[in-house]
Structure 1
């Protein structure tokens, strides 16, 4: 049984790149207890998550039954689920967490605005806190604030984001959030000066309703970067 002084944490996507880091952080935190490790890789189910990620044994097995893990975590206290999974599954996982009274912290990107609104309404009705965080980096927050300041003086902006080639969604959640913040600060960008013609479709990147172009680069070995 988890101590009342600690927060039970379930990590969904525990064996992925970010999930592994969350597991280590929770294991090292004095005010948190690892209450569950979820991953869909069948060859890892049942193994100690600490050993799977090259850390010390944690006596928490990898499981692939999200709902059973949520029930177990919720019985231990005010539980939290950290989700670093896939755009195709994150919405249902977060709804399940809210339904079982577990507070989601979502690092997975790719949720549509409609899905985020639905989750917000569902969480409000359940009186459950829910965080959807496109990026946890302090540097990104500072970059976004700098972009907002620059938007007061410049009428043209393009966003270029780079990630490794295993990232499933494009553009990144950080790029989408940055574009939304800029749009709220200023109605329209990039008024056309000439009649553009693309000889290869998409050469100018995607474009938001506010006129902001977003370019997504996916190559092996790249570390998350935005400019």
Structure 2
């Protein structure tokens, strides 16, 4: 499919104000097939400047609120589920997540508290399942995440991964990959789908709902398919 043209993916609405159109993965997309719109200001270098607001084009509900300074995320950010419920809230400093971030399920129930440390992987401080049962308390317990038809699960000790972690398909519980950690230090991993092992670095991520970070890269998607 043909790549979209950049000028199909935004509208100028003021002297330095622009509305950008994105796919659900924050790839620039023509308005006709976009799912997200971002209201923002940009500086002469094309960097986001000041407050940005993202909305779901299907229902006009907010998806993100935050601000940029000199092209980097700065201050409090709020991320929302497509239903409009708060998904995550925390702070950025010079483009990095810092301090404690709170996360919630679409139902409004609390999900977890992660602590971010100078660009290092976050610590899992607290975690609750969808029913409200606390599975991680003060950095110790069992953690999981379900996203895109997959479930990542494992234990944390002192807020960091420990022991064997597994990634499975939710539909049939088939194993996709597994990794081993010792007190947060990655030891090895195996990708079942690719039939390969690795020892360089972990492929797993504890962070949730961070696709919005793609927006500032201005990655072009494809043109909208023709209407039949």
Calculate the TM-score normalised by the size of structure 1: 0.28
Decide which structure has greater strand share. 2
Structure having the larger proportion of residues in helix: 1
Q: So what's the TM-score if we normalise by structure 2?
A: 0.28
